């Protein structure tokens, strides 16, 4: 939201109050409170008729400073609020000298200039950012009262995050309004708005407000990030890194780390699509078609029309189309499939549940007691009030009945179209509930899944979210067109969401709207399978690969099997996301923050620590991508490419750059038919040119996320040593790109083998009792 007319003037009707200097401070055991008048106080009479800005600093965790700016504090706080997990280890301190008063938490300090107003945030011996004179303000406007803060941007400083946004990855120059909307992937609106950004300057900022936060990112004032909220109080947290990964670790420790999705959810999900006609015979034919073509399938998803038209959501199968849902699900599950059902939080008037919920008071109402209703989406629909514990339990009871029937997961769609002219059961502020509703909705669904299926078995396919929503994976990118530009905008949205603290993300392979050209569909497949989660889904047409030609079938088979082989590596990355908050899919700037060429890259990404993926966004296969320094190896062909630099190449219809970082160890599994198996049994550790002095520890998890085996890899001179700890199972070591070795002192040299994935290299086998492999290179 803009308040200025250019740099020097204000817009008509805008009346600002700026803190001018520090008049007084209060120092508490865990806080600093600064009182700053809006004009200079030189004598007692100056205190009369002078508004006061109150700024309070606290610390919920080391290296995190929470700032609360207030003009009037007498308003009723009706919530809702983000849940912030405080770390009891935080022990802030306050110091004061003649010129400054400073609040310090860990390595981060907020320093207030006493005479001429300025706040600097300092860490690592430098100023990270600051709020200079006339940056912080209380503003009266024709649209009401607002609080505003502006934090300075350094030269070359880039801003990332603010939710799943489909425009450029770097947010500099953009106006971002934190307001959930069902706007597709081709607009400035977003399903997942998160008032948190990461700066390349070594810090992040989280605006702790569930309501409409407006960001001007180097836009209204091009050298600052501005954020404003309606009302009389503004709270924000500054999070010190120093690296972008450190910022995400500390931010997700505050707002919640993602649950670990079950291993089976990393396999291929196949949907009925949205408005297509389908019954059990259709579903069976689709599943048969996948099996006949040797295409591994993990999850089958029933979209909206598993229920009757005009009844969404009554959680009842359409009796004419699905007369035997229990038997059908049993037959599908006998084939090793998991089942997902589409749901949303709206109750159509025609459903008998509408009258039931309305009578019980479970639907959101106007202040006169009438149920809020409209016809957009479902005729006369109402909205479940998740602020009412009884309504939440009622909704969860409907889901439990489906779980008892054999359902494994829910696609929790919608949650963005939330009215602001209503009354909530707990008295929440409707404006602040608009964005926060999705958190209550997905929390309720995830909780019942976790209770019913057990810890580590709960997984959603959610569309909407706000800060903290990363706790309930997985999220997908919403309704995109079936085009190459929409494929690219989907990736930008996923990378932006990753920089907002979300560890797991997916998208509709081939696009949602319309029917993709075979080239679009086929090029989208590798991108989909090399994402954390992978789903075939569309709008009015099926997304089975044989409808798009033999190439699509072959490519889907190849990359589904490749992903299964990569599961020891991928699931280790998932465990990292769960434990640390570092996402599985990562912007290049997150993994290579010191490489200036990576700053704006949004057409490629890192999958885990060590694999670079550059989707191809053209039918003819022409693509350009960037490699950071070192010798990178194509995972599938073994070709070596050298960075740093840009490469322009042409790739065949089933091909794309999938490149392994120099000096990596990639754990490859022994199975390619499913994602959930014993990853340690027959695991192959592929070593990519470890240099002299190289050392790494590779953890291979169980399908439940616990450590199964730990391998320590070292190279000293010409000797490569790999030592195993943990699971006693056969394992192998492969030296990628090495054709001969001088000797194998432990383990046994095996014939060249490319059956795992990609090119052959020297292969050393170790049986279950072997704990060490030693190889001497030429």
Q: How far apart are CA 685 and CA 671, in angstroms?
A: 14
Q: What is the DSSP string of 519-562?
A: HHHHHHHHHHHTSSSEEE--SSS---GGGG-HHHHHHHHHHHHH
Non-local CB neighbours of 631 within 8 Å, separated by 6+ positions = 640, 641, 642, 662, 689
Please identify which residue in the block is written with the tokens 């700890």. 725
Q: How far apart are CA 346 and CA 379, in angstroms?
A: 10
| Catalytic residue, candidates 413, 591, 681, 765 | 413
550-565 vs 567-580: helix crossing angle, rounded to 10: 60
- 421 CB neighbour count, 10 Å cutoff: 8
Q: How far apart are CA 260 and CA 249, in angstroms?
A: 16
Q: Is 15 a catalytic residue?
A: no
Return the structure tokens found at 527. 């991108």
| Catalytic residue, candidates 157, 479, 481, 672 | 479
| Catalytic residue, candidates 220, 416, 429, 655 | 416
Return the structure tokens found at 696. 């790494």
- 437 CB neighbour count, 10 Å cutoff: 30
Return the structure tokens found at 144. 């009401």
Question: Where do runs of H (alpha helix) occur along 348-507?
Answer: 352-360, 389-405, 430-453, 484-498
> Number of C-alpha atoms within 13 angstroms, CB side, residue 638?
16
* Cβ atoms of 687 and 713 closer than 8 Å: yes
Provide the 3-class DSSP secondary structure of residue 496: helix
Helix H or strand E encompassing 518: helix 518-529
Specify burial of residue 670 (Cβ count, 10 A radius: 0-12, 13-18, 19+): buried
Please identify which residue in the block is written with the tokens 């929390």. 443
Helix H or strand E encompassing 333: helix 325-333
Return the structure tokens found at 697. 């520890």
Q: How far apart are CA 607 and CA 748, in angstroms?
A: 32
* Cβ atoms of 194 and 163 closer than 8 Å: yes
Q: How far apart are CA 587 and CA 577, in angstroms?
A: 14
Instruction: Provide the CA 483 distance to its chain's centre, in angstroms.
Output: 23
- 774 CB neighbour count, 10 Å cutoff: 16
* Cβ atoms of 227 and 149 closer than 8 Å: yes
Phi and psi at 641, nearest 5°, equal -125, 140
Q: Is 429 a catalytic residue?
A: no
- 124 CB neighbour count, 10 Å cutoff: 13
* Cβ atoms of 423 and 449 closer than 8 Å: no
* Cβ atoms of 10 and 134 closer than 8 Å: no
Please name which of 288, 285, 267, 268 lies closest in space to residue 277, comparing C-alpha atoms.
Answer: 285
Q: Is 413 a catalytic residue?
A: yes
Q: How far apart are CA 489 and CA 165, in angstroms?
A: 9
Instruction: Provide the CA 82 distance to its chain's centre, in angstroms.
Output: 17
Catalytically annotated residues: 413, 416, 479
């Amino acid at each position: 939201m803009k308040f200025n007319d250019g740099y020097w003037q204000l817009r008509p009707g805008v009346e600002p109050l700026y803190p001018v200097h520090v008049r007084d401070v209060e120092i508490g055991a865990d806080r600093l409170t600064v009182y700053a008048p809006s004009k200079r106080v030189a004598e007692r009479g100056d205190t009369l008729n002078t508004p006061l800005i109150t700024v309070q600093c606290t610390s919920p965790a080391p290296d995190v400073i929470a700032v609360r700016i207030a003009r009037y504090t007498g308003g009723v706080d009706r919530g809702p609020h983000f849940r912030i997990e405080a770390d009891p280890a935080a022990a802030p301190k306050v110091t004061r000298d003649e010129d400054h008063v400073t609040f310090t938490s860990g390595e981060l300090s907020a320093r207030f200039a006493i005479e001429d107003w300025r706040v600097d945030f300092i860490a690592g011996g430098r100023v990270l950012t600051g709020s200079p004179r006339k940056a912080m303000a209380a503003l009266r406007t024709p649209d009401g009262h607002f609080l505003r803060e502006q934090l300075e941007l350094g030269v070359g400083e880039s801003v990332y995050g603010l939710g799943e946004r489909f425009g450029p990855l770097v947010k500099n120059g953009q106006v971002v309004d934190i307001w959930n909307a069902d706007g597709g992937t081709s607009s400035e609106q977003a399903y997942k708005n998160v008032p948190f950004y990461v700066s390349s300057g070594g810090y992040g900022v989280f605006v702790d407000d569930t309501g409409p936060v407006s960001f001007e990112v180097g836009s209204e004032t091009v050298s600052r990030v501005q954020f404003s909220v309606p009302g009389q109080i503004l709270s924000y947290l500054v999070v010190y890194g120093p690296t972008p990964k450190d910022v995400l670790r500390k931010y997700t420790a505050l707002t919640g780390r993602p649950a670990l999705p079950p291993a089976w959810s990393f396999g291929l999900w196949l949907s009925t699509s949205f408005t297509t006609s389908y019954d059990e015979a259709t579903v069976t034919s689709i599943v048969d078609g996948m099996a006949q073509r040797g295409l591994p399938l993990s999850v089958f998803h029933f979209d909206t029309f598993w229920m009757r038209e005009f009844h969404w959501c009554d959680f009842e199968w359409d009796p004419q189309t699905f007369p035997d849902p229990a038997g059908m699900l049993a037959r599908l599950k006998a084939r090793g499939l998991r089942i997902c059902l589409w749901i949303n939080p709206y109750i159509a008037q025609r459903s008998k549940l509408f009258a039931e919920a309305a009578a019980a008071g479970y639907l959101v109402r106007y202040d006169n007691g009438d149920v809020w209703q409209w016809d957009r989406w479902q005729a006369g629909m109402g909205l479940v009030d998740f602020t009412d514990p009884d309504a939440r339990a009622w909704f969860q009871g409907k889901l439990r009945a489906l779980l008892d029937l054999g359902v494994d997961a829910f696609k929790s769609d919608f949650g963005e179209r939330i009215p602001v002219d209503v009354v909530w059961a707990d008295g929440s502020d409707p404006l602040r509930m608009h964005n926060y509703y999705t958190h209550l909705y997905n929390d309720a669904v995830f909780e019942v899944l976790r209770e019913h299926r057990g810890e580590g078995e709960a997984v959603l396919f959610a569309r909407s979210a706000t800060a903290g929503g990363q706790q309930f994976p997985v999220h997908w990118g919403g309704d995109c067109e079936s085009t190459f530009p929409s494929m690219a905008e989907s990736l930008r949205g996923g990378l932006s969401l990753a920089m907002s603290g979300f560890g797991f993300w997916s998208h509709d392979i081939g696009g949602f709207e319309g029917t993709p050209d075979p080239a679009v569909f086929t090029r989208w497949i590798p991108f989909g399978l090399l994402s954390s989660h992978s789903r075939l889904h569309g709008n009015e047409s099926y997304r089975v690969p044989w409808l798009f030609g033999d190439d699509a079938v072959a490519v889907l088979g190849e990359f589904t099997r490749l992903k299964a082989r990569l599961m020891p590596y991928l699931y280790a990355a998932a465990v990292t996301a769960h434990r640390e908050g570092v996402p599985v899919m990562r912007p290049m700037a997150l993994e290579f923050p010191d490489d200036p060429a990576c700053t704006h890259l949004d057409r490629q990404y890192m999958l885990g620590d060590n694999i670079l993926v550059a989707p191809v966004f053209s039918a003819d296969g022409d693509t350009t991508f960037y490699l950071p320094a070192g010798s990178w190896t194509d995972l599938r062909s073994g070709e070596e490419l050298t960075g740093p630099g840009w490469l322009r190449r042409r790739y065949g219809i089933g091909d794309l750059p999938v490149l392994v970082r120099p000096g990596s160890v990639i754990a490859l599994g022994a199975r390619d038919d499913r994602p959930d198996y014993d990853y340690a049994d027959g695991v192959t550790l592929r070593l990519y040119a470890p240099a002299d002095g190289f050392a790494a520890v590779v953890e291979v998890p169980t399908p439940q996320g616990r450590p199964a085996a730990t391998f320590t890899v070292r190279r000293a001179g010409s000797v490569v040593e790999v030592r195993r700890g943990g699971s006693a199972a056969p394992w192998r070591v492969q030296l990628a790109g090495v054709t001969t070795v001088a000797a194998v002192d432990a383990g046994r040299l095996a014939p060249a083998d490319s059956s795992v994935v990609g090119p052959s290299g020297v292969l050393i086998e170790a049986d279950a009792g072997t704990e060490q492999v030693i190889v001497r290179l030429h």
